[in-house]
Structure 1
Amino acid sequence: MLLLVLSLGLHGAAQVTLESGARAAARELARGEDPASAEAAARRITGEEVSFQLSHDQGYVTVELVRPVRVLGWVEVAMTQDAQATARVEDLP
């Protein structure tokens, strides 16, 4: 039972960092930074095993991050965590 509670806590914390990484990447892109810089910001927060996807639509940018779920940080299961963030791209002079 203790392992289940620990695993759920780690899963929740990992989801929060994934969402923070998506927001950071979207902010970078909204300020006019290049996609490589945004991806680096996301990976700095979430770790290297995350996949990064970017889309533009009518003045908005959307970042989606996906990574595998690991039980207690070790055993990968057939599930993924994902997070998405959208930001309006600033008009630069």
Structure 2
Amino acid sequence: MIDLFTTAVSVLADPPKNTGPDFGKASPFGLLIVVILLISVFILVWSMNRHLKKLPKSFDEQPVDGDAIGAATTDDPAGAERETTTPPHEPGG
């Protein structure tokens, strides 16, 4: 148990081997990656804003045309005569 402890302490206490003048400095490749990521985030936010502007102000309105839920289909002739309405929106449910 003591051997494991002394080994761990000696490994952790060792100074890093790469201590030259360029150690720890960022390369131009890292700058390129950061710039590409920033451009990607800008394009994604711009695209999301365009899509959000196309959304209606509220989704509570009933559909105007015959696209209501439970509308009659061609294979249900009895359903063509029934009136199709959807229940009103219930808050909290």
- Same fold, TM-score > 0.5, yes or no: no
Which entry has the higher C-alpha Rg, 1 or 2? Answer: 2
TM-score normalised by the chain length of structure 1: 0.29
Higher normalized contact order (CA 8 Å, seq sep 6+, divided by chain length): 1
Q: Higher strand share goes to which structure?
A: 1
